[in-house]
Amino acid sequence: MHALKNDLLLKALKGEAVPRPPVWMMRQAGRYLPDYRKLCEKYSFFERCQTPELAAAITLQPVEQIDVDAAIIFSDILVVPKAMGLEVQLIENIGPVLPSPIQTEKDIARLHIPDVKDRLHYVLDAISLAKKELKERVPLIGFAGAPWTILCYMVQGKGSKTFDEARAFCFQQPAIAHRLLQMITDTTIAYLKEQVAAGADCIQLFDSWGGLLGPEDFHIFSLPYSQQIIHALKPMTPVILFAKGAWFALKEMSETGADALGVDWCIKPETARKLTDNSITLQGNLDPAKLLAPVAEIKKGVKKMLTSFGKDKYVANLGHGILPNVPVEHAKAFVEAVKEFLFQ
């Protein structure tokens, strides 16, 4: 089916031996790129995201300008709560605002499990178009937020350091929390299946706030729902699960059937390998702030990271999204350093 010219990422996700690890960057289609910033001046976030031509063009920018080994569709995890009936505003330089967050059982009645082909057609159209325009140069990654992370925004109503209200919601009204998590899960499964049908070559599930739950609560409110999604997607496509900060559950996550696990910069590669018994592909984990250091330091950091993770079962990436103020040359240096590195 695929005739990908560069299939390093898919090979690494399968655990196959590769000549060198693939490299891409979370948020690689983003504000550090001048061409992206130009589009931000003309179009709002949802215009960029809901116009397939714009979303596809943005998706391709890092492939063409930074020479990464994979594209990731330009979108946002909060298109899911929006499709479920919640108002979502994405305000430039401020972040997401959900003016009517979920607080009680009554609020859940405002939500529905949408027909994703209808409500999220713009993402699917963008995927089809991006896939076409990529001309099989590199694989295209689709994505969604993990249900716990989506609940965080739905309940808290905005970004937060610790999403205290979301955690409290789960502890105060666990039955309602589970109902909400299941609705998000069902929507996400349908949504991701359509992403694959539209052309996504693999999927990343972002549990950006997984690490804000204690280990036991992560097993109650996060992992079972990510697990459902992975099971549903697995026959169709490789899945990368990135639960930021959830080092304590790496072992359990490695047993979900996920093809790879993302790791942030707050864990040594050796520790992550040990915690997963070296059994699964890992993706990460340079501190994104290191891309602001001089290029020589970036190259040093990449060398150390690659030496520690090893050549196979590995996808080079940052430990979180690239920062908006990174010079393009530094992003290029990161990608080049991965490609140049000679494994012993």
CB of 262 to a second copy, least distance (A): 15
> Residue 274 interacts with a second copy (CB under 8 A)?
no
Judge whether 192 and 230 are in contact, CB under 8 Å: no
- Spatial separation of the C-alpha atoms in residues 81 and 89, rounded to whole Å: 11
Q: Report the residue from 2, 42, 106, 161 that binds a second copy according to the rule CB under 8 A.
A: 161
CB of 9 to a second copy, least distance (A): 24
Which two three-digit tokens encode residue 7? Answer: 């299939």
Nearer to a second copy, 22 or 245 (CB): 245
Residues 70-99 interacting with a second copy (rule: CB under 8 A):
none
> Residue 41 interacts with a second copy (CB under 8 A)?
no
> Residue 248 interacts with a second copy (CB under 8 A)?
yes
> Residue 104 interacts with a second copy (CB under 8 A)?
no
> Considering only CA atoms, which of 225, 279, 286, 216 is closest in space to residue 251?
279
- Spatial separation of the C-alpha atoms in residues 195 and 202, rounded to whole Å: 9
> Residue 294 interacts with a second copy (CB under 8 A)?
yes
CB of 209 to a second copy, least distance (A): 10
> Residue 162 interacts with a second copy (CB under 8 A)?
yes
> Considering only CA atoms, which of 286, 292, 279, 221 is closest in space to residue 250?
279
> Residue 159 interacts with a second copy (CB under 8 A)?
yes
Nearer to a second copy, 91 or 289 (CB): 289
Total of chain residues touching a second copy, rule CB under 8 A: 35
Nearer to a second copy, 263 or 335 (CB): 263
Residue 340, SS3 per DSSP: helix
- Spatial separation of the C-alpha atoms in residues 259 and 280, rounded to whole Å: 7
> Residue 287 interacts with a second copy (CB under 8 A)?
yes
> Residue 252 interacts with a second copy (CB under 8 A)?
no
> Residue 266 interacts with a second copy (CB under 8 A)?
yes
Q: Report the residue from 73, 134, 140, 212 that binds a second copy according to the rule CB under 8 A.
A: 212
DSSP string, 144-203: EE-HHHHHHHHHHSB--SS-HHHHHHHHH-HHHHHHHHHHHHHHHHHHHHHHHHHT-SEE
CB of 124 to a second copy, least distance (A): 31
Nearer to a second copy, 113 or 267 (CB): 267
Is the bond into 285 cis (omega within 30 degrees of 0)? yes
Nearer to a second copy, 94 or 266 (CB): 266
Residue labelled with tokens 């549990």? 207
Please, is 118 exposed, middle or buried when counting C-beta atoms within 10 Å of its C-beta (0-12, 13-18, 19+)?
Answer: exposed
Nearer to a second copy, 30 or 211 (CB): 211
- Spatial separation of the C-alpha atoms in residues 278 and 57, rounded to whole Å: 37
Nearer to a second copy, 242 or 247 (CB): 247
> Considering only CA atoms, which of 225, 278, 315, 302 is closest in space to residue 26?
315
Give the residue ranges of DSSP H helices in the chain.
8-14, 34-42, 45-50, 52-65, 79-83, 105-108, 116-119, 121-134, 147-156, 164-172, 174-198, 215-221, 223-233, 250-254, 269-275, 295-309, 328-340
CB of 296 to a second copy, least distance (A): 12
> Residue 213 interacts with a second copy (CB under 8 A)?
yes
CA atoms within 13 A on the CB side of 68: 29
The pattern of x and - marking residues 165 through 194 that bind a second copy according to CB under 8 A reads --xx--xx----------------------
- Spatial separation of the C-alpha atoms in residues 25 and 29, rounded to whole Å: 9
CB of 214 to a second copy, least distance (A): 4
Residues near a second copy (CB under 8 A): 159-162, 164, 167-168, 171-172, 211-217, 245, 247-248, 265-268, 271, 287-290, 292-294, 297, 319-320, 323
